[in-house]
Amino acid sequence: MSDISKIIGIRIRNYRRQSGLNQEELAELAGCHPTYIGQIERGEKNATIESIVKITRALNIPLSRLFERIDDCNSPENSYPLMCYELILSKTKPEQEAIYKIIMDIDKYKSL
């Protein structure tokens, strides 16, 4: 599958985990088969736009959020910011807050 399919799959998995859902629960909420959700998350299937809309609604996220900064994925000069974005996205809200505080502390320390 294409890189974009893998990136979208990873993002769906990250948002699903953030929501505390397993694949079966997301599939039920989205009206999809659990196997299909797994295939999308692994980048094995190209999801239809209809399925993506159902999944984002089930995850209670705007469709646009799933595609944020997707154009930067093939740009080597943006790889570290994008890797950080994807890493933080994969964490729970409390973990995201902790990571943000750590980054802010590092930035303050660097300025001293």
Per-residue pLDDT of the chain (112 residues), as tens digits, is 468 888 899 999 989 998 999 999 999 999 999 999 999 999 999 999 999 999 999 999 999 989 887 776 555 555 777 778 878 887 888 999 999 999 999 988 876 6
Domains of the chain in start order, with CATH, are 3-111 (1.10.260.40)
Question: pTM score, two decimals?
Answer: 0.74
**What are the CA-CA distances from residue 104 to residues 79, 81, 90, 107, 111 (Å)?**
20, 15, 19, 5, 11
| Residues 29, 82: Cα–Cα separation, whole Å | 29
